[in-house]
Amino acid sequence: MALAAPPDLSDIAVPVQPLARTYPRGRFIEPHEHVWGQVLYATSGVMWVETPVEAFVVPPQRAVWLPPGVVHGIRVVTDLEMRNIYLRPAIAATMEKTVQVFEVGGLMRELILGLVALDRDQEAEYYDALVGLALLELQRARRSLLKIPLPDDSDRRLKNLCQAVMSDPSLDIPFEQHAENAGASVRTLSRLFQSALGMGFAEWRRQVQLATAVAEIIQGVPVSTIARSLGYSPSSFSDMFRRELGMAPSQYPVSQT
């Protein structure tokens, strides 16, 4: 499928610029930034959105707000149908100044799809009304708290290890193997985890596993399937999930943030 033309972010006469694109599984969109704010959303598929300091796993029930100037990259976990909305700087200034992950309900989903599909030149008054309603929905949407801290680029060995775990957070890959693949000793990487992220490897990977699991739970993936994909037995996965989030996986509500 041919890529859609990039939005014209020099035209500040329009309130928003839409973009629809399709990306295959495994695609990595290099870190970049925009002078406009961005609502990053996919109607299907799962992606990791990475900023210089944190990462978010984003299924179709979630979207990401990126303020202007925030550097971000995207790792496509499964085939992705992306529908983005760029907000001109004056409008973006009314939104939060930090990256946010928010829940996408039925109304928000249809507003995003409508803004991408409609031609503002033909229906300007109606289009601008949709923009106003979309902004209200963005401001009142529930925020997600599952964020994964990331190291900076000062040591590529640690960065590469973290990216490898996010690509495959299974327990079946031991820390020693990750260290070997990254080209560093276990002791060195253990020290780097503590100094850069304030936690050990096991705790950090557990956060990645929880974020991955929650993204799959809210898509209706069976808990037993999730457990096996992460290298757990169903019972041990449920025990870990309960210890970390205070409830069994089967009790996790779709609206939880």
Enumerate residues 6+ apart whose C-beta is below 8 A from 99: 51, 54, 56, 64, 65, 66, 67, 70, 72
- Give 10-39 pLDDT, tens digit per residue: 777 788 999 999 999 989 999 999 999 999
Question: What element of type H or E holds 118?
Answer: none
For residue 241, being part of any structural domain is answered with: yes
Query: Does 152 have pLDDT greater than 60?
Result: yes
Of 113, 140, 167, which closes a domain?
Answer: 140
Alpha-helical (H) ranges within the chain are 89-92, 106-117, 124-140, 156-167, 175-182, 186-197, 201-217, 223-229, 234-245
- Residues 168-181: pLDDT tens digits? 888 888 899 989 98
Quick one: 116 and 48 in the same domain?
A: yes
Per-residue model confidence (pLDDT) at position 227: 94
**Looking at the predicted structure, is the pLDDT value of residue 4 above 60?**
no
pLDDT band (50, 70, 90) for residue 77: confident
* In a shared domain, residues 130 and 240: no
Q: Is the same domain home to 160 and 96? A: no
Q: Give me the CATH number covering residue 96.
A: 2.60.120.280
Q: Please tell me whether residues 227 and 156 are part of one structural domain.
A: yes
Q: Note the pLDDT of residue 257.
A: 39
**Does 233 lie in the same domain as 156?**
yes
d(CA 182, CA 158): 7
The pLDDT of residue 64 is above 70:
yes
Percent of the chain with pLDDT over 70: 96
Query: Based on the domain organization, do 133 and 25 belong to the same domain?
Result: yes
In a domain, 165, yes or no: yes
Assess whether 31 and 118 both reside in one domain.
yes
* 84 and 180 part of one domain: no
Of 56-70, 196-210, 236-250, minimum mean pLDDT range: 236-250
d(CA 4, CA 127): 20
| HSE value, Cβ hemisphere, 13 Å, CA-based, for 39 | 33
- 115 Cβ partners below 8 Å, 6+ apart? 16, 18, 85, 127, 130, 131, 134
Q: List Cα–Cα distances, 199 to 86, 132, 151, 180, 232, in angstroms.
A: 35, 42, 12, 20, 22
CA distance 107 to 63: 13
- Residue 9 placed within a domain: no
- Domain's final residue, options 140, 171, 194: 140
Contacts of residue 199, defined as CB under 8 A and 6 or more positions apart, other chains included, come to 149, 193
Residue 256's pLDDT is what? 43
Q: What is the mean pLDDT of residues 48-59?
A: 92
pLDDT at 138: 92
pLDDT of res. 173? 86
Both 88 and 39 in one domain: the answer is: yes
d(CA 162, CA 83): 27
Q: Are 115 and 87 in contact (CB under 8 A)?
A: no
Q: Which domain holds residue 22?
A: 16-140
Percent of the chain whose predicted confidence (pLDDT) is above 90:
62
Q: How far apart are the C-alpha atoms of 67 and 33, rounded to whole Å?
A: 9
Query: Which of residues 74, 109, 140 is at a domain's end?
Result: 140
Q: How far is the C-alpha of 115 from the C-alpha of 19, rounded, in Å? A: 9
Q: Residues 133-149: what's their mean pLDDT?
A: 89
Residue 8 pLDDT > 80: no
Looking at residue 254, its pLDDT comes to: 58
Kindly state whether residues 91 and 198 are assigned to the same domain.
no
28 in a domain, yes or no?
yes
What is the domain-level CATH number for residue 231?
1.10.10.60
pLDDT averaged over the chain? 89
pLDDT of residue 242 exceeding 60, the answer is yes
Per-residue confidence (pLDDT) for residue 2, from 0 to 100: 41
In a domain, 4, yes or no: no
Is residue 106, in this structure, part of any structural domain at all?
yes
- 52 and 163 co-located in one domain: no
Please check whether residue 87 is in contact with residue 106, taking contact to mean a CB–CB distance below 8 angstroms: no
Contact predicate 196/158, CB 8 Å: yes
- CA-wise closest residue to 90 among 46, 37, 30, 164: 37
Residues 164 and 245 in one domain: yes
Residue 244 lies in a domain: yes
Question: Which residue, 4, 38, 36, is CA-closest to 20?
Answer: 4
> Per-residue confidence at 250, pLDDT binned at 50, 70, 90?
confident
Judge whether 6 lies within some domain: no
Mean pLDDT, range 203-212, rounded to an integer: 92
Q: How many domains does the chain have?
A: 2
